[in-house]
Structure 1
């Protein structure tokens, strides 16, 4: 099994977007579980135009036909393959949402920043809402056309389309996963989240983090939970386990060494957290990376 961090080279660095149409032709080999997985910081949307496409994540398999769409969250392990003898054509949109978190977006920050749950959970929208699926597919095509053709003002148009895409998801969210919440001060929270990301292998002291935020220990604890939806220690643990998931799949180190590399020395605690966030042990998680090629999911 091969797994790598895919570098995403933006066509326009100011927009933090890469969008491209891919085609796959020729004889189709026997369909087997994937052997090549990858991940990247950017979230990914895929729109199938012709043919049949299969996308794997550790927990789910999405079989996509023409007109169907799927979204994969930031740093999420995934793999893909063509499913039919007919030619496959699909558009892939990679986007880093950080530049799009302006004041109007901040009430929804913790959702699109995947603080509480992965964006992959939103794929139920495309399975249940035909209009939303068509609208998002059309927006992806519009972003592709703007970036590739580069007419005057394409930067403005592409940025507007990204916002329109996010708005479409918000309004089609019948399960209430993207509900508006407490306004988030990005200047306060942004550096804190970056600090955590950079120091997952180290001891992260709440006292030091609250000092960075210019708040008392107790006030910061309440502030973080109120704005982010989860306690600070829970957020840190989620990030540690997410890093451990990628390390398990990409490195040859033992589970003990991986746990230590993400800042968890107590193995009982590590296994407890891994089960809490994944519903399985690290060994069972790795087994998911070679799923049954016959299974599929759409929610």
Structure 2
């Protein structure tokens, strides 16, 4: 269930004295379109579920795992009976680690893990979610530390396996895959730091040491999206952070995030988030003021 929803913004009510929220959900309830700053991991345990995103829809079977990145607008259509794990750990404090920040960029806006597509890691990921659920419900001393250790294992497994060559594993040997993965992590680091600047495909391809056309192909394999879509995702992610800071106008945010016109910024923001920057800003501050009023 969604406990605190204002417009489409969900305030995640973490368990007391923790930065964790988990539902062992058996309720028959559809979840409307919403977003939140926390990452969300959903695994149906009994029956199937349908996830809706701004521009797509996926069907989760029993046992499939969906990772929803922070800021991703989504909804869920539930069957009349069933059970699912909905886990929302706050990963903000983990993003000082480069790997976490890059991984969330790779997965954005969401990723689905299935036993067919990810046989090397699926079983362990499913086991980790069940253990996390049990520890959360038991609430033993140091359970938060134990759970976050499992969150890190979960993310590291995903990061090592959901990357370059998932679609064409036979094309490269393990040494080449590792070399390319490290190279593209450095490229993505650079894009993350310089996304507000003008980034040209030719120049970034030269930095990587690959030809433009080979770079485009490898970049899409590694990140799951095209170069320019990735850049725009990072710009919109940065815009989200700036929009919630007091005193920043939509125009200021657009210019500070590398957009050359307000109209292109608004269009891209709405395409990715399902609302305009002004609506996003209003929804956030309405929820923030309400939360302070309840303290």
Shorter-chain TM-score category?
0.5 to 0.7
Alpha-carbon offset, residue 175 of structure 1: 2.8
Partner of 1:6: 10
Secondary structure of 1:128 counterpart: coil
- Distance change in 2, residues 1:238/1:156 (3 Å): closer
Partner of 1:230: 191
Partner of 1:58: 54
Deviations 1:123-165 (A, max 9, x none): 3666611452332222111111111102344233212211111
Secondary structure of 2:63 counterpart: coil
Deviations 1:168-212 (A, max 9, x none): 2023225369944699xxxxxxxxxxxxxxxxxxxxxxxxxxxxx
Give the number of the structure with larger relative contact order, counting CA–CA contacts within 8 Å between residues 6 or more apart: 1
1:172 aligns with 2:173: no
Q: Where does the alignment leave 5 or more consecutive residues of structure 2 unmatched?
A: 1-5, 167-177, 198-231, 242-248, 276-295
- Distance change in 2, residues 1:95/1:267 (3 Å): closer
Secondary structure of 1:139 counterpart: helix
1:146-165 matches, within 5 Å, as 146-165=135-154
Partner of 1:138: 127
Partner of 1:218: none
- Distance change in 2, residues 1:286/1:168 (3 Å): closer
Alpha-carbon offset, residue 10 of structure 1: 1.6
Higher helix share: 2
Aligned-partner Cα distance in 1 for 2:25–2:142: 25
Structure 2 contact 68–111 (Cα < 8 Å) conserved: no
Aligned-partner Cα distance in 2 for 1:240–1:13: 33
Aligned-partner Cα distance in 2 for 1:39–1:6: 6
Partner of 1:17: 20
Partner of 2:36: 40
1:58-137 matches, within 5 Å, as 58-82=54-78, 84-85=79-80, 87-101=81-95, 106-114=97-105, 117-120=106-109, 122-123=111-112, 128-137=117-126
Aligned-partner Cα distance in 2 for 1:144–1:231: 33
Q: Where does the alignment leave 5 or more consecutive residues of structure 1 unmatched?
A: 29-33, 184-224, 247-257, 288-299
Alpha-carbon offset, residue 284 of structure 1: 10
Aligned-partner Cα distance in 2 for 1:67–1:3: 31
Alpha-carbon offset, residue 228 of structure 1: 2.3
TM-score normalised by the chain length of structure 1: 0.57
Alpha-carbon offset, residue 264 of structure 1: 4.6
Secondary structure of 1:41 counterpart: coil
TM-score normalised by the chain length of structure 2: 0.58
Partner of 2:246: none
Secondary structure of 2:70 counterpart: coil
